[in-house]
Amino acid sequence: MFRPILLSLLAVCAHASANNVIFIHPDGAGVANWQAARFYWAGPDAELNWDRIPHIAVYRGHMADSLSATSNGGATSHAYGIKVPSAAFGTDGKSASRPTAANGEQGSLMHEAMRRGVRTGLVNSGSIIEPGTACFVASTAHRDDYEQITAQVVESGVDVILSGGEEWFLPPSKAGRHVKSGKRTDGRDLIEEAKKNGYTVVFNRTELQSVPAETKKLLGIFAEQDTFNDMEADKLKALGLPIYAPEAPTLQEMTAAALRVLAPGPFFLVVEEEGSDNFANFNNAPGVLDALKRADDAFGTVLEFINKHPETLLITAADSSAGAMDVLGFPPKPDLLAKAASGKDTNGAPYGLAPDGQPFLSKPDRSGVVHPFVITWGTLSDASGGILVRAAGKNADEVQGSFDNTKIYSLMREVLFEE
């Protein structure tokens, strides 16, 4: 007769001792990406919010079968604390089931958090199917099992889900707010199912900002696919498309909304800026710079939150360097400017230029000087790159030296369930 009482007391104690964890994943963004963002948005001698995150380590992101990570393999290591093959999507790469995590239990850190009464959230500027967030609750045999991934995320019980991807919520017979017809082949309407399960559902910035303060379950669907138009810069310009959909909330706005629903905690929130990866894989420099600014704005919101809630850990890392992006700066001499505007390096490597076809210009340095630069590209794929782990808040000083991708899980779990 005492067992139910004991279990209830243990649950209360676990809940009371838990802290908050926010993991922000600016996908594909290495050190060079942040250098470019600093030059462009702040200036060589100024600081981004990313620069204000105090604790730093070198990220080691190799997979079980590859030195360069995939988004799904990297996310699985973050979510489960184990090394997996590059094809894994919330699995061990051998089946479609959940693997055994580093804690010895079958399930991710987010599954454990929900089981222990910690509130949870997933925020992504891309589609709901993106692995950086989806791998924390979905497990599928293949990365392109989009119907299953969407259903598993919606069915997971996560308190806040904010992303794009309406195409995978609805069957072809139904129109949505962003799609004329869905793509689900099983006939399910996941939006109606979510409403029946207690979710408030919103579809744009205005609706997100009008969510009642007492909201406990929130589902935001802000685009047919991603909230951005990821393609080559020239094609984007020719089609007259914006980099990001103007009616969709920014990553900062989504993060702030998630914090309003989840705070004061305890909670576990995973946030991904997907545009920084997708635009880099198209070698679209203006798109990457815009995406990084959006990620940096989200960092600012979280750092302000930590100032008020010091029991919160912010940890951030990418898992690869998309496009092997780097910065090439030079004195503003006419011959060098003309050479840069040609769009190619002497070895044929492409340059990323500003929308006007000229080199980018930095914000002024401390002497008031504006510097020209171009973005250099090494590939259309994801490279290992120079990735940093950065952290602020609770136990952030443990981020130092070299930091394996599996240690992201370990530190987050340590903070969440501190006893």
Identify whether 335 is part of a domain. Answer: yes
SS3 state at 79: helix
Q: Classify residue 349 by its DSSP letter.
A: P
Residue 273 in domain? yes
pLDDT higher than threshold 80 for residue 111: yes
Which pair of tokens denotes residue 302?
């979280």
21-44 pLDDT, tens per residue? 999 999 999 999 999 999 999 999
Q: What is the CA radius of gyration of the chain?
A: 21
- The pLDDT of residue 11 is 43
Asked if residue 382 belongs to a domain, the reply is no
Mark whether 172 and 26 lie in a shared domain.
yes
Residue type, 122: L
Cis omega (within 30 of 0) for bond into 264: yes
* pLDDT value of position 18: 61
Same domain? 345 vs 411: no
Find the helix packing angle between 71-80 and 405-416, rounded to 10°.
Answer: 40
Q: Dihedral angle at the C-alpha atoms of 5, 262, 37, 49, nearest 10 degrees?
A: -80
CA angle 165, 169, 174 (to 5 degrees): 115
Please say if the pLDDT value at position 16 is more than 50. Answer: no
- H/E element holding 236? helix 233-239
317 and 344 inside one domain: no
Residue 80 · residue 86 · CB < 8 Å = no
pLDDT (tens digit, 9 = 90+) per residue, 349-400? Answer: 999 999 999 999 999 999 999 999 999 999 999 999 999 999 999 999 999 9
Half-sphere exposure of 162 (CA within 13 A, CB side): 33
Q: Does 37 share its domain with 182?
A: yes
All residues at 6 or more sequence positions from 27 whose CB lies less than 8 Å from its CB, including other chains:
71, 130, 132, 272, 273, 274, 276, 277, 278, 318, 319, 322
How much is the pLDDT for 94?
A: 87
Q: Are residues 27 and 163 in the same domain?
A: yes
Q: Are residues 219 and 353 in the same domain?
A: no
364's CB contacts (< 8 A; 6+ apart) are 43, 370
Domain around 237 = 2-325+389-416
Strand partners, 271: 24, 123
What proportion of the chain, given as a percentage, has pLDDT over 90?
94
- Whether residues 79 and 118 fall in one domain: yes
Torsion of CA 249, 251, 257, 261, to 10 degrees: 140
Provide the pLDDT for residue 304. Answer: 98
Average pLDDT over residues 305-320: 97
pLDDT tens digits, one per residue of 366-377: 999 999 999 999
Same domain, 275 and 352: no
Q: Where do the DSSP E strands lie in 65-167?
A: 119-127, 160-164
- Mean pLDDT (the chain) is 95
Q: Please give the tally of structural domains in the chain.
A: 2
Provide mean pLDDT across the span 2-7.
41
Within-domain flag for 198:
yes
pLDDT at 95: 87
Q: What is the pLDDT of residue 8?
A: 42
356 shares its domain with 210? no
- Does residue 167 sit within a domain? yes
Q: Are residues 294 and 404 in the same domain?
A: yes
pLDDT at 262: 98
| Sign of the alpha-carbon torsion through 203, 207, 209, 215 | negative
Q: Do residues 214 and 335 share a domain?
A: no
Whether residues 401 and 369 share a domain: the answer is no
Residues whose CB is less than 8 angstroms from the CB of residue 105 and which lie 6 or more positions away in sequence, other chains included: 112
Give the CATH number of the domain where residue 233 resides.
Answer: 3.40.720.10
252-302 pLDDT, tens digit per residue, is 999 999 999 999 999 999 999 999 999 999 999 999 999 999 999 999 999
b/e per residue 243-280 (b: at least 16 CB within 10 A): bbbeebbbbbbbbbbbbebbbebbbbbbbbbbbbbbbb
User: If pLDDT is split at 50, 70 and 90, which confidence band does 2 have?
Assistant: very low
Asked whether residue 381 is domain-assigned, the answer is no
The whole-number average pLDDT for the span 201-213 is 97
Identify the band that residue 418 occupies on the pLDDT scale cut at 50, 70 and 90.
confident
Residue 6 within a domain: yes
Distance of CA 88 to the CA centre of its chain: 18
Transcribe 95-120 into DSSP letters: SSSPPB-TTSSBS-HHHHHHHTT-EE
Give 15: exposed, middle or buried? Use CB within 10 Å, 0-12, 13-18, 19+.
middle
Any domain includes 158: yes
